[in-house]
Amino acid sequence: MRHWYLHIVALVAAVTLLCGVAPTVALAAQSDEAVLTVAVTSPGDDGALRHEFSIEDLRTLPVAQFDTRTIWTSGEQEFTGVSLAALLAHVGVTDAQNGIVVARAINDYAVEIPVADAISGGPMVAYERNGSSMSVRDKGPLWIVYPYDSDPTYRTEAVYSRSIWQLEEITVGQ
């Protein structure tokens, strides 16, 4: 009887060890994976110039941070990421005020965001909320958020509809 008990203890220990290691390994693999594709199209171009970013790539861009309340969360939240303006500038979109950003989530939900929204102090592509990475279940890994508390114009149905989570692709038409 005692021999059987030792096998159960060893099995539980092995499962616990695997569960403890597996998430760490999965997280490490994900940090180098492309989580965001940004495609830039130009008038008269047949194709789009595509840029792929991992979370680590996004972290190398200028960091944006703000605290705000959202209609989807409880209480004030701290968001960290890259401003939409800095991301677009990084991929060469510098003067497309009449352009449109089409943002698409992993479930194929898509929204249109005017490029004119991409201003200093405006929306960001957040990769952290309250100091932690966001899982897919928690609206991550990327979420376009606006500083809703900073300006009443950010608290409209139109802006809320642009606040896409589980973001995976941005296409910019110039």
CB 99 within 8 A of CB 84: no
Is the pLDDT at 27 greater than 50, yes or no? no
Would you say 120 and 85 are in contact if contact means Cβ atoms under 8 Å apart? yes
**pLDDT score at 8:** 43
Q: pLDDT by residue (tens digit) across 147-165? A: 999 999 999 999 999 999 9
Q: Is residue 13 over pLDDT 60? A: no
pLDDT for res 95? 72
Q: Specify the higher pLDDT residue, 172 or 22.
A: 172
- Encode pLDDT of 90-115 as tens digits: 999 977 667 899 999 999 999 999 99
Greater model confidence, 160 or 45? 160
Spatial neighbors of 59 by CB under 8 A, at least 6 apart, are 127
Question: In 3-state terms, the chain is what percent helix, strand and coil (to 5)?
Answer: 35, 35, 30
pLDDT reported for residue 26: 36
Kindly tell me the sign of the dihedral angle through the C-alpha atoms of 56, 61, 62, 66.
negative
Superfamily of 33-173 according to CATH = Oxidoreductase, molybdopterin-binding domain (3.90.420.10)
pLDDT at 12 (0 to 100)? 43
Range from 44-48, 101-105, 124-128, 136-140 carrying the lowest mean pLDDT: 44-48
**Domain layout of the chain by residue ranges:** 1-31, 33-173
